[in-house]
Amino acid sequence: MAPKHRFLALVAAAWMVVAANAMIAAQGGSKVGARDQLAITVFGVEDLSGKFPVAPDGTLNYPHLGALRVVGLDTGQVATTLSAKLKEAGLLLNPQVSVELIQTPNKKVIVTGAVRTPGQMPFAGELTLFEALALAGSATSDAGDLILVMRAGGGGQSSEGNVIEVSRNELESGRMERNVALQDGDQIVVPRAQQVFISGQVRSPGAYNVPAGSTVMQAIILAGGLTDRGTYRGVKILREGKEVKSVKTESQVRPGDTIVVKASAF
């Protein structure tokens, strides 16, 4: 197997593992999410035991205690909270509480654009942007760096103020602060990259998806590098119908550029 194909196979396999883990987390994770259900047992007290829904605002309406915020907690934390509240309220001296999370995929996000399996993604509990992309099979080779999370407003329609922009490179490199916690109804859009056309004395002339911030040299490497006759001296960049002046190997390229590599005079 060629090195490039071997690398792509390894990447695909890694994404499959992530997708499987994401599915497990999405469908049976330990964190309480809005509209989940909690099976609560207070040992010896039937009136305080049963199945209780978590409201869309993340609260649990529990007998004698009212609304308690439980979203984002695990079952152990909910049990501890209920035990403490029941004791503080003077309802029980030493309450023994057990909590089981019953999650159903009653929420959804939509993933569109340059992903392998776009479509609607049902989920339960919590779902992050990274997990949603994994469930969609990962980004395709022509995906750009930008990811848009379009969040519905009060009227159910997304607006410019409700669009979150995330760098795919930063997300995939492990910067978890970019790993947005998704909400029911979010739409994730992965736009396709704009390409750079490379011609002249390179081994594989053509159009390439060049990551943001790439230099002339990095772009030429994507095209297989220089031919035996190629030279970095006198490389041209044509941008919006005009030639860019003073081009160097470390000059940054932009989407839509055409790079022309000349032949050496010797």
Parallel/antiparallel/unpaired status of strands 236-239 and 206-209: unpaired
pTM reported for the whole predicted model: 0.57
What are the two backbone dihedrals, phi and then psi, of residue 36, each rounded to the nearest 5 degrees?
Answer: -80, 180
Read off the pLDDT of residues 19-31 as tens digits, 9 standing for 90 and up. 444 443 444 446 8
Give phi and psi for 63, each to the nearest 5. -55, 135
Higher pLDDT, residue 210 or 88: 88
Strands 107-113, 187-190: pairing is parallel
Q: Which two tokens stand for residue 144?
A: 């750009």
Give the model's pLDDT for residue 126. 80
Partners of 150 in the β-ladder: 163, 187
Question: What pLDDT score does 29 carry?
Answer: 47
Distance CA 204, CA 202 (A): 6
The Cα–Cα gap between 6 and 66 comes to 57
What are 235-252's pLDDT values in tens digits? 999 988 889 999 999 999
Average pLDDT score, the chain:
84
The percent helix, strand, coil of the chain (3-state, each to 5) is 25, 35, 40
Tell which wins on pLDDT, 228 or 193.
Answer: 228
Measured CA distances, 197 to 60, 217, 263 (Å): 57, 14, 17
Domains located in the chain, CATH noted? 37-102 (3.30.1950.10), 105-190 (3.10.560.10), 195-261 (3.10.560.10)
Q: How far apart are CA 220 and CA 210, in angstroms?
A: 10
